[in-house]
Amino acid sequence: MPEILAHLSEEQRRAVTHGAGPMLVTAGPGSGKTHVLTSRILYLVQERLVPPGQILVITFTREAARSMQRRYLEISEKFLYSEEAQSGQVSFGTFHSFFYQILRSSEKYTRYRIIGEAEKQKLIYPLLKDIKVRRGENDKYFDPVSQEDVKSMLSAMSFDKNTGRMQEAMGQLQEPWRECYCKIRQGFEKEKEQRRQLDLDDLLVLTARELERDAGLLQYWRCRYPYALVDEFQDCNPVQYEILKMLYPKGGNLFAVGDDDQAIYGFRGADPGIMQKFMEEYLESAPGAGAQEEIAHVVLGRNYRCVQKVVDASAKVIACNRQRVEKQFASNRETEGNVRIVGFMGGREERGYVLSQCRGMTPLELDRWAVLFRTGSLLAAFGAELMQEGIPFVVREKLNNIYEHFVVRDVMDYFRAAYGCRERQLFLRLWNRPRLRVGREALDHPVVDFEHVKKFYSGAFCQNPNAVRDVEQFERKLEQLRRFSLELGITFIRRGFGYEEFLRRRAGDNRELLESWLEVLDWLEGDCAGYRDFREWERSQESTALRMSQESSGSVCNADRESREGDGCTGIAGNAAQKKGIHILTMHAAKGLEYDRVFLMDVNEGNIPKLKRGITVTDSLLEEERRLFYVGMTRARVSLELLYQTGTRERPRLPSTFLQPLLEQQGV
């Protein structure tokens, strides 16, 4: 054991060799927290003679649990030698898997089954549709309940269960869902109970309830795992923390490792103030706190990942947050590295710069680079551009095929109609986007004939001058569209056909959703550049979509799906464990990863920070967005490039306010 301690810094050694009782380790980016955790387990087993079977290690994802277990087994094979120390086995798992064990040990839940996101959506959809129908919102051409409605309701219910803050959860919803929230949740819970089903959020709520109700159950699990180590402690939500307090009361052997500067899951109910509560409830009020407190909290500030320039830049950014524990950061690396802030006129130029940097690089070289986005809305678009360039890339989360996005399909359908396509199904979609006064009854043939439709609405039986006028205008607009260039054609579809206004009405009060759709339209205007005509552009899309489909076949997404869900489009998942290429992912998905060179995209106001319109902007929301930006910055080992868009004279854009301390340093 002294051999492994020799490879630790003084702060790491203090954490690893902590005796009995609670311990909080504040571990900054790249400070070796995984090494500390695995060394701590080894120390308990080898030096404190704790049976491995009495140690529980809790993480937030299955992937993290497996990785931690692999790391522990690697070092334990080196340093474990006594038979007594090797008896039993250390338990590694997620909060959800541990809570499921507790519930299964209670007779009441032995026959219940865990359901995933897809099954939850199927259960809640009829409840939402019933609300719409009762309100008279039942259009035979449109589904009154959108995918966004389903997801937002499930998200609100998840937040409610994880925090117990129902009013705040309801505040995330638009009407009519807000006023019907309690009724919908009651119906949802009833449907699950009838099917003997539980979702992941139920595991938390029910575990807390059973431990409070059953003293024998609580005592059993206290004795089963007297020692617990919790990774990413800053991501705990109030319910998880209360359960930990029940299992490990004051004086208990709870070893918590986290960083309040990397708390980025507030939308799920995580509370960065949990770490401060731990200090107050476990350490400061512990017996003999005066002398004990100093050794029961260790701050790991030495960064073994990032060069000093990256450490300094990220420290300047996060120092603007007030709700945090101040820390001193220093790099342990001698490489100089660099941090650059670069502006581009638009997204096309910004992405073009990254593509230019990738050209000529080998897959192995690119595998040390990453491109990080704030959200996944343009991840798929950039993936398509990489595919067109023949640049290998890797994704760790669900990547949607951009050409399957309904906005792209709609725009392409407009062009197809302009170039002579008269398929009935195509016009059934287009004449509702935006809505024309033409019904299905006029489209009674597989091939649409405009003259036939006009005659249909000119007859005595179905006379409708408005419908005739709509068809005539639509026909003239298609003739105009065919004469335009592709770029001007997309602008004409947005304005002339009223497609953008249709999107605004469809999004309703959900401005964030509307912005993501408009981003796709903006990207599409860039995607068509360089093609001679529509047919060439269409063939290129089909070719790229086919390659992306082939890319996804047989590949396995390494991202943990417990909490990350796509948006319902066709999914592309790269096998990050085998394939080599540049990594493209969101800042949330990049947590815990590191790369030699990192590009942070679209560091502009309105995107970073990304704040929902209609939601009151609080200091807490802004600080969480800044923490997310900080996490993105600290993924870079050597080179960090912060890219933003300047816009045009007509549509200027501003760099993110988060860049302000860095721009001031440069004298900008």
What does the pLDDT look like over 430-459, one tens digit per residue?
Answer: 887 877 777 777 777 888 888 988 888 887
Mapped onto helix, strand or coil, the DSSP state of residue 300 is strand
At residue 551 the predicted structure's pLDDT band, cuts being 50, 70 and 90, is: low
pLDDT of residue 553: 47
* Range in 35-49, 139-153, 183-197, 378-392 with the lowest mean pLDDT: 139-153
At residue 561 the predicted structure's pLDDT band, cuts being 50, 70 and 90, is: very low
Burial class of 166 by CB neighbour count within 10 A (0 to 12, 13 to 18, 19+): middle
Token representation of residue 473: 């205008």
State yes or no: pLDDT of 240 exceeds 90: yes
Between helix 117-134 and helix 147-163 the angle, nearest 10°, is 110
Mean pLDDT of 279-283: 86
Q: For residue 448, which of 433, 430, 473 has the smallest C-alpha distance?
A: 430
Average pLDDT over all residues of the chain: 86
Matching CATH number, 404-541, of 1.10.287, 2.120.10, 1.10.10, 1.10.486: 1.10.486
The pTM of the full predicted model, rounded to 2 decimals, is 0.82
* Range in 135-144, 432-441, 486-495, 535-544 with the lowest mean pLDDT: 135-144
> Is residue 11 within 8 Å of residue 302, measured between CB atoms?
yes
State yes or no: pLDDT of 546 exceeds 60: yes
What does the pLDDT look like over 345-360, one tens digit per residue?
Answer: 988 899 999 999 999 9
pLDDT of residue 452: 87
pLDDT of residue 87: 56
> Is residue 606 within 8 Å of residue 301, measured between CB atoms?
no
Token representation of residue 6: 């020799």
State yes or no: pLDDT of 330 exceeds 80: yes
What does the pLDDT look like over 371-422, one tens digit per residue?
Answer: 999 988 788 889 889 988 999 999 876 667 788 889 999 999 999 999 999 9
Superfamily of domain 1-107+213-300: P-loop containing nucleotide triphosphate hydrolases (3.40.50.300)
For residues 319 and 315, give the distance between their C-alpha atoms in angstroms, rounded to a whole number: 6
For residues 314 and 26, give the distance between their C-alpha atoms in angstroms, rounded to a whole number: 17
At residue 46 the predicted structure's pLDDT band, cuts being 50, 70 and 90, is: confident
CB under 8 Å to 328, separation ≥6 — which residues?
301
Token representation of residue 122: 């199927």
Among 299-313, 507-521, 609-623, name the most confident range.
299-313
* Range in 151-155, 213-217, 521-525, 527-531 with the lowest mean pLDDT: 527-531
For residues 72 and 64, give the distance between their C-alpha atoms in angstroms, rounded to a whole number: 12
Mean pLDDT of 18-37: 93
Q: For residue 49, which of 5, 81, 21, 84 has the smallest C-alpha distance?
A: 84
What are residue 579's DSSP bridge partners? Answer: none
Residue-wise DSSP of 621-634: HHHHHHHHHHHHHT
Task: Give percent of the chain with pLDDT exceeding 90.
Answer: 52
Could you identify the residue written with the tokens 């660099």?
A: 338
pLDDT of residue 139: 61
pLDDT of residue 557: 34
Q: Is 580 left (phi over 0), alpha (psi -120 to 50) or beta?
A: beta
Superfamily of domain 308-392+580-664: P-loop containing nucleotide triphosphate hydrolases (3.40.50.300)
pLDDT of residue 621: 87
Mean pLDDT of 269-283: 86
At residue 642 the predicted structure's pLDDT band, cuts being 50, 70 and 90, is: very high
pLDDT of residue 525: 87
Sign of CA dihedral 96, 100, 102, 108: positive
- Choice between 611 and 364, residue whose per-residue pLDDT is larger: 364
State yes or no: pLDDT of 78 exceeds 80: no
Task: Give percent of the chain with pLDDT exceeding 70.
Answer: 88
State yes or no: pLDDT of 554 exceeds 60: no
For residues 383 and 572, give the distance between their C-alpha atoms in angstroms, rounded to a whole number: 10
